[in-house]
Amino acid sequence: MIPITETLSIPEREVRFTASRSGGPGGQNVNKVNTRVTLHFPFWLSDHLTNVQKSRIALRLKTRINKEGVLSLHAQRHRSQAANRNELVDRFSALIRDALVIPKARKRHKITKAAKERRLHDKKRKGYLKQERGPRIILDD
């Protein structure tokens, strides 16, 4: 089981891991060993997520989901497949947890009278400064 929150866990049978060769420097280890791990999670088929949670994941993580509705993550930082897999499970758990957070509704507040007066005072002062920058008109008597 992959723990997401205190009340939600996703069984590992719903998640598929694949291994492939990593890119970048690393010598023979990179050229011979499959250390890059990819996690595939078809969240629409999950029995442990509600429809509301699935919709929230689809909305919040739409850039990481392919056309088939599979969430994919990769890890290739470490030299061993096990370390990359552990990092990937931690990242997956954090990603799903963050996607399921419901943001607080914004409360509208009334603008205070003092704030309105300050704003108007600042606007008048700015207008005066700009007016002073203009050409001077000299009246001859």
* CATH code for position 72: 3.30.160.20
Residue 78 lies in domain: 2-99
Residue at 32 is within a domain: yes
Please tell me the predicted confidence (pLDDT) of residue 123: 96
pTM of the full structure = 0.65
Residues 6+ apart with CB under 8 A from 66: 72
Residue at 8 is within a domain: yes
pLDDT at 15 over 90: no
Residue at 115 is within a domain: no
DSSP 3-state helix, strand, coil percentages of the chain (rounded to 5)? 45, 15, 40
Residue at 48 is within a domain: yes
Q: What is the CB neighbour count within 10 angstroms for residue 123?
A: 10
Residue at 104 is within a domain: no
When the pLDDT of each residue in the chain is averaged and rounded to a whole number, the result is 84
Of the candidates 1, 41, 2, the one whose C-alpha atom is nearest the C-alpha of residue 18 is: 41
The per-residue pLDDT for range 55-111, each reduced to its tens digit, is 888 888 888 888 888 888 888 888 777 888 888 988 988 888 888 888 889 899 899
Residue at 39 is within a domain: yes
Residue at 112 is within a domain: no
Q: What are phi and psi of 98, to 5 degrees?
A: -65, -35
Domain total in the chain:
1
Query: What would the two tokens of residue 6 be?
Result: 């205190």
Of all residues in the chain, what percent carry a pLDDT higher than 70?
94
Which position has the higher pLDDT, 52 or 136?
Answer: 52
Residue at 18 is within a domain: yes
